[in-house]
Amino acid sequence: MWDYEPKIIKDEKPLLEAFVPEHVLHREGQKQLLVSALKPALAGRRAVDSFFYGPCGTGKTLLARWLLNELESHSSKVQTVYVNCWKNNTAYTCLSSILKELGVFTTYRQATSELLKQLEVEAREKATVVCLDEVDSLEDKELLYSMSRSGVALLLISNDPYALVDLDLRIKSSLRPEPVEFPAYKTVEIFDILMQRRSYAFVPGTVDDIVLKLVARLSDGDARVALETLRRAALLSEERGEDKVTSTSVKEVFKTTGNLRKSEALKRLNEHEKALYQIIEGKKKISTKRLFEEYTKIVENPATDRTYRNYMNHLVKLGLVKATGELTGRKYELV
């Protein structure tokens, strides 16, 4: 009764986000830049700070994690940490999760300044590289300044190329990371990435090249969309009792996975931004004045005008909302 022999997917793990493949494809240039920046750490010295930027699904997180792992396993003189600032967006949570990963004992009673001192001690003992992914979500950018002074090398990552532009001058002058651009992949590059995963995840002969080509074409340079489309299409074909992944399944699941970028962006909104988004969703176009008025009516503690503008900038940066016109004539609509 419980006989179940998956016909298409041999192992689902290589199709999931957390999987780190043996090789990172088509990122040689970026890899070389980061290797040069990290090399001093091999001699126990401080590495050069870097800044990875580029759209979603271009391998920023993967390359960072992959290279930091490599570096750490290569030399006992280096320790590396990876933190996602979206999940740890205050100075305190960010620092405690860094120290936790470094195996340093902390208590919740310690002030942020004490945690910083502990990090400083760590950086003195061993060359320390800290990767702050989705760094634009960090509430308190001052932390970048204090971390930089504590002696750790920073690897910052953001989808937003301007994430570090608005920083205080003082922070900017002490932190000049090497910029490393991650452009969207070409269709043929996505195809190669899919081929690599096919060999790990599928029963041989169940995914034709033509299917991978279709997925690659639809994904528009985003490897995350590509992998998720392939995974869900395979599950759908299996469920339908087919013995191969079909183009029909791909097209069907893409109706959902095609919006993955948008749903990822929506997850990153705070309560206020969500409310603002919902108001705009109900209208075709809305003026900034009307929007602010409606917003103050529906949320409990509405933000001031200035913070409201920051929220709107964030919605625009995430590619969820489009702004037209200037200043008071400004209008918003969904993208």
Q: How far is the CB of 40 from ligand ADP (least distance, A)?
A: 25
Distance of alpha carbon 65 from alpha carbon 50, whole angstroms: 14
Question: Strand order in 286-287's β-sheet?
Answer: 286-287, 331-334, 321-324
Within the chain, strands assigned E span: 50-53, 78-84, 127-133, 153-158, 178-181, 286-287, 321-324, 331-334
Which of 155, 193, 250, 320 is close enough to bind ligand ADP by CB under 6 A? 193
- Please tell me whether residue 61 binds Mg ion under the rule CB under 5 A: yes
Give the interface segment with ligand ADP, choosing from 31-39, 59-67, 274-282, 290-298 (CB under 6 A).
Answer: 59-67
- Helix, strand, or coil (residue 330): coil
Distance of alpha carbon 160 from alpha carbon 295, whole angstroms: 26
Give the interface segment with Mg ion, choosing from 56-64, 117-125, 225-233, 280-288 (CB under 5 A).
Answer: 56-64
- Please tell me whether residue 30 binds Mg ion under the rule CB under 5 A: no
Distance of alpha carbon 128 from alpha carbon 21, whole angstroms: 24
Give the interface segment with Mg ion, choosing from 58-66, 217-225, 242-250, 252-260 (CB under 5 A).
Answer: 58-66
How many residues at the interface with ligand ADP, by CB under 6 A? Answer: 18
- From 212, 175, 207, 162, select the one nearest 192 (Cα to Cα): 212
253 vs 312, which CB is nearer to ligand ADP? 253
- Please tell me whether residue 25 binds ligand ADP under the rule CB under 6 A: yes
42 vs 184, which CB is nearer to ligand ADP? 184
Give the interface segment with ligand ADP, choosing from 24-32, 75-83, 112-120, 292-300 (CB under 6 A).
Answer: 24-32
Question: DSSP assignment of 283-297, as one string?
Answer: SS-EEHHHHHHHHHH
Q: Closest CB to ligand ADP belongs to which residue?
A: 59
- Please tell me whether residue 31 binds ligand ADP under the rule CB under 6 A: no
Q: How far is the CB of 285 from ligand ADP (least distance, A)?
A: 30
Per-residue HEC secondary structure of 118-161 comes to: HHHHHHHHCEEEEEEECHHHCCCCHHHHHHHHCCCEEEEEECCC
Distance of alpha carbon 252 from alpha carbon 233, whole angstroms: 8
122 vs 136, which CB is nearer to ligand ADP? 136
- Please tell me whether residue 131 binds ligand ADP under the rule CB under 6 A: no
CB 233 within 8 A of CB 215: yes
Contacts with Mg ion, residue ranges (CB under 5 A): 61
Contacts with ligand ADP, residue ranges (CB under 6 A): 17, 21, 24-27, 56-62, 182, 193, 223-224, 227
